Amino acid sequence: MPTIQQLIRNTRQPIANGTKSPALRGCPQRGGVCTRVY
């Protein structure tokens, strides 16, 4: 447990929610989801 003084000095940062698969961000074809089948 941090002390009160530590919490005053630097407040807790919220956890940044990143994507679980950052590789799919720039290339949606790799998602493996077929939206349309011809």
Q: Is the separation of the CB atoms in 22 and 30 below 8 Å?
A: no
Q: How far is CA 26 from the centre of its chain?
A: 15
* pLDDT at site 28: 63
* Residue 4 CB-half CA count within 13 A: 0
pLDDT at 27: 67
Residues of the chain where predicted confidence (pLDDT) is lower than 70: 18-19, 21-35
User: For the whole model, what pTM was predicted?
Assistant: 0.31
pLDDT for the residue 24: 66
